[in-house]
Structure 1
Amino acid sequence: MQIHLNSKNTYGTINPKLHGQFIEFLGSCIDDGIWVGRDSAIPNIHGLRRGVVEALKALAPPVVRWPGGCYADTYHWRDGIGAPAKRPVTFNENFGTYELDQHQFGTDEFMDFCALIGAEPWLNVNLLSGSVQEMKDWLEYCNRAQPTSLAKLRQANGHADPYNVKYVGIGNEVWGGGGFMTPQQYAMTYRKYATAMPTFKTSLFDQEKTYKIASGPDGNKPQERVRWTRDFLTALASSRQPAIDAIDLHFYNWNIDHENDTPTDFTSDDWARVIQSAHELDDVISEQEGLIAKGLANMPIPESTMDHRLDQIDLVVGEWGNWHRPAFTARPALYQQVTMRDALTTAISLNILQKHCDSVAMACVAQTVNVLNSLLLTDGDQTILTPNYDVFMLYKGHRGGHVLPLDTKTPAVETFASIKDGIITVSLSNTAINAPKSLTLTFDDTVHLITAETLNAAHVTDYNDAAHPNTVRRHPLAMKQTTSQRQTVTLPAASVTTLQFKRS
């Protein structure tokens, strides 16, 4: 089997923010996961679990979305600032969490977390139980440089400099737990929030400093997702058009209809079904691209040149990943182990997102720690890296690269390639559960192999836990260090492999 790479045939630029993360007050994602408290015996940095911080600092996720998710629509930001001992205690009913919420991890702690790991913050505002004024005040607290009362409050809480939050989500899943709104109702609500959002400009002609993200469709509902995007954009076109930068699509690779299929116990048929269903994301994104393009084409031309006409809306995928049936009844809520099956679907999903880099500007896996398709699990004082963590590390080389389209139909092999600064990064996933695959890569120029790493397991149901944290780990792949126009690679069964070549 042969794959040809033409380094001169490229398109797009892979936004590093396609490798974003999502954290929420759900189960033990934040409390007992990221946040252990300033007085904890578990090693921490100002209350943030040191193991999580160090692992994510090495990964350097470009963006982190917080505080939700469903939780965002019950969250009042003032509960999470100021003296920790004086913060209110509430009850968190979010998605089966059912725990007291001490509000020890709030805005300033989140911003510290982002700074430590090198990520930009994405704030999701409370559209359901909050208000326009609450949103305005929160952003003023975060971003105002001038000495207003809210800027002084931030300074009193230990942060003199503004956080310069750019990414702002206006509501979450408003078609469901975010309010069960119709597209028309949401369009009316969106107009108010988007219009009231502070600009933080100091001159009329300054560039816009916030990136407004609208709640997009439920990607798992084939008919509803079409109606949602179509009708929302139609409602925006019905009168003057508010500023909008992106629509936030959510899509989960559901595996909830097979009672005997669990995250760590599944058959070869279960394996094949879950891996195949991950490809639906490609179709959903293509569909949404078309709907957005049509909606923009139908935007009326304003009567005055002073009015705004929408001509560009990005797509973001604010939540994605595998969701297995047992997560619904897990304690802590939505806790889920990770095997090579999840690693392969994670690689497939990253391939799809990167392939659509011309339209998809940002994406966040759900969720980073202890929930669903996690990169990290915690147990007592231990931080465990899941196979998904290794996949994201294997894909770091694609960030900022240009896509190299690969014309290949190799059975059971998923492919993606990019080029950046003369370095060609090739990711190859072998989805065959038992059979290795040999491939020959051919190039239009002489190349030199500089790195070769693979992720695989002795058994596809293997996973990492506190007792065995390194059962499934990426490791060097033996290859000939040659300089030529042909490179042959043998992919282990059920594996994710990344190779990097430098053009001579």
Structure 2
Amino acid sequence: MKKALMGLLMLVSMGVHSQNKLVLNTDLAETKISKHIYGHFSEHLGRCIYGGLYVGEENKLVPHINGMRTDVVEALKKLEIPNLRWPGGCFADTYHWKDGIGPKGDRPTIVNSWWGNVTEDNSFGSHEFMELVKQLDTEPYISGNVGSGTVQEFSDWVQYMNFDGKSPMSDLRAQNGHPEPFKVKYWGVGNEAWGCGGHMTAEYYANVYRQYATYINTSWEKDSRVFKIASGASDDDYHWTEVLMRDIPRHMIDGVGVHHYSVIDWNNKGSATDFNEDQYFTTMTRAWDMERIVSGHEAIMDKYDPEQKVGMMVDEWGGWYDVEPGTNGGFLYQQNTMRDAMIAGMTLNIFNNHADRVKMANLAQVVNVLQAVILTDEERIILTPTYHVMEMYKVHQDATLIPMHLTTDDYEFNGKKLPAISASASKSEDGKVHVSLTNIDLNKDHEITIDLRGEDLTSVSGRILVSDKVQDHNTFENPNKVVPQEFNEAMLKKNMLTLEVPASSVVVLELD
């Protein structure tokens, strides 16, 4: 049990005849849910950057500001996204940042060997990314090249982006049109060092990290400091986290990454839209694994860092299926259904409930790749069910986590069981209480009683994301098939709230 959250107790009852009940201690809220849990990820992969976020300054078909497509920027601003990770992913450890600065006609091309072997012209680089960040009013999170780069290259990039003074790198930045420093706070020291970032062992990477962290010199910074994030474990590789927490001094590390995807089978991922209940149940099992994975890494981090100074950064998560028929296999373009809404609702509840340790998370990815919140087709866009969950859940950003005790019925399939209901709750600065509920049960509505303790709440309203079938999704021909609706079925009486959460749905309630 977490020391900082002794009041938080999540009890999942696997009894067939149990009653769904949620007890909220609204007066015991203490831990802040970092807004950065609601972060996003943009890699040079398929049509995420080129065509998704960026169409170029000369594009006459798609409305844009300085090359950033206006419709996508406006949609993402409505999510209030707190940070955006770039340029990868696996691409990060092949990216040499100096190729992406200066006059665009002078920039060399690169073959994206990780994703489709396409040739890129480097027209989207550091300055373009910072322009995108500015338009989105969000914070940048840059992953630096450790796998094929050098310590000097990484150090120069940090100085180029952040140094407020005269130096070779700041002079180069000014020459390229930006005299003022960008002041990028979040830096990832490589990506997936255990895999595409170099196939390193944990022990070897810990030493490499220490070397890089030493030369990411920020002693010249006056009003901010770089937040260094180590390339973290894949899934439940607890040895990786153990070695990093054991071997890297606390003053050198601010965050440790974790990556987990809800994949049915890496050799047979299945269709994003044409799936049966067996495949659905397996996907939900993989999504629920996030609770076990986060808890396992959390326990190790607590052992070495009881004061919780190092954040857990789940900087890649989401569903992963086969690409859409007829599309480039290396572009990872997939549709997004109510199944993905279930993954999003459940996962965000898990992150919220571990807010004392989880300080950042990044959905993979933001546009046109994997569990994207937006899909584009030339000048058209659609908002996916995952987008709508993120929008409904944004009320939790920087709110205070409410300790809770949850008892839930099971979702049963072929003799296997999963908790049907996941939940999290928070209190915003204006005193409003928000409760998010996800019912992953494909076949049953679940009635739940919410016991509100600690203060009197007299009004309730809500929104719901639900559709006729869990395979339902939005298309360019029917972009509003799955959208949030008002939910007025919750009954509040003397601080006892009762409602029925429909099968495979996400509900967010607001109480005052």
In the alignment, the residues of structure 1 paired with residue 264 and residue 80 of structure 2 have an alpha-carbon distance, to the nearest angstrom, of 30
Q: Is the 8 A contact 1:256 1:324 kept in 2?
A: no
Aligned partner (choices 122, 125, 140) of residue 144 of structure 2: 125
Structure 1 position 429 matched with structure 2 position 442: no
- CA 1:58 to 1:135, structure 2 compared with 1: closer, same or farther past 3 Å? same
Determine if contact 2:269/2:321 at 8 Å carries over to the other structure.
no
Q: Does 1:194 align with 2:213?
A: yes
Match of 1:323 in 2: 320
2:356 counterpart residue number = 358
1:314, 1:159 → 2: CA distance? Answer: 32
| 1:441 has 2:450 as partner | yes
Contact in 2 for aligned 1:449/1:483 (Cα 8 Å): no
In structure 2, what is the Cα distance between the partners aligned to 1:399 and 1:197?
A: 30
1:232 aligns with 2:240: no
Give 1:138's match in structure 2, choosing from 157, 174, 182. 157
CA deviation map 1:343-379 (0-9, x unaligned): 1111111111111111111111111111111111111
Provide the C-alpha distance between the structure 2 equivalents of 1:287 and 1:260, rounded to a whole number of angstroms.
Answer: 26
Task: Normalising by structure 1, report the TM-score.
Answer: 0.90
Between the aligned partners of 1:352 and 1:276, the Cα distance in structure 2 is 14
Q: Could you tell me which amino acid in structure 2 is paired with residue 217 of structure 1?
A: A
Query: 2:297 maps to which residue?
Result: 288
1:263 paired with 2:260, answer no
CA separation in 2, counterparts of 1:4 and 1:235?
41
Which residue does the alignment assign to 2:423? 415
Partner residue, 2:228: 212
Q: Which residue of 2 aligns with 1:42?
A: 62
Counterpart AA for 2:243: D
Separation (CA, whole Å) in 1 of partners of 2:497 and 2:217 = 54
Name the SS of the counterpart of 1:250 in structure 2: strand
1:186 partner SS = helix
Contact 1:417 1:424 (8 Å CA) reproduced = yes
Alignment partners' CA distance in 2, 1:443 and 1:231: 42
Q: Specify whether residues 233 and 413 from structure 1 end up closer, same or farther in structure 2 by C-alpha distance, changes over 3 A only.
A: closer
Residue identity opposite 1:335 in structure 2: Y
Shift of 1:11: 4.0
Number of the residue aligned with 1:400: 398
5+ residue gaps, structure 2:
1-19, 410-419
Q: CA deviation at 1:470?
A: 0.9
Which structure 1 residue ranges, 5 or more long, are not aligned?
Answer: 298-309
Aligned 1:85-100 pairs, distance under 5 A: 85-94=105-114, 96-100=115-119
Alpha-carbon shift at residue 451 of structure 1 (Å): 3.6
User: Partner amino acid for 1:153?
Assistant: L
Distance 2:251 2:426 in 1: 36
TM-score by length of 2: 0.88
1:301 aligned partner: none
Preserved contact between residue 169 and residue 212 of structure 1 (Cα < 8 Å) = yes
Higher deviation after alignment, 136-145 or 156-165: 156-165
The reply on whether 1:13 has 2:32 as its aligned counterpart is: yes
Q: Is the 8 A contact 1:16 1:400 kept in 2?
A: yes
Inter-partner Cα distance in structure 2 for 1:258 and 1:183? 26
Q: Is the 8 A contact 1:201 1:208 kept in 2?
A: no
Paired residues, number: 479
Q: Is the 8 A contact 1:256 1:325 kept in 2?
A: no
Note if contact 1:191-1:242 (Cα within 8 Å) is conserved in structure 2: no
One-letter amino acid of the structure 1 residue matched with residue 297 of structure 2: Q
Deviation at 1:450, TM superposition (A): 5.3
Match of residue 478, structure 1, among 450, 472, 488:
488
CA distance in 2 between counterparts of 1:267 and 1:410 reads 24
**1: CA distance, partners of 2:270 / 2:98:** 42
Over aligned residues, Cα RMSD in angstroms?
Answer: 2.3
> Per chain length, whose mean CA-contact separation is higher, i.e. which structure has more relative contact order (CA < 8 Å, sep 6+)?
2
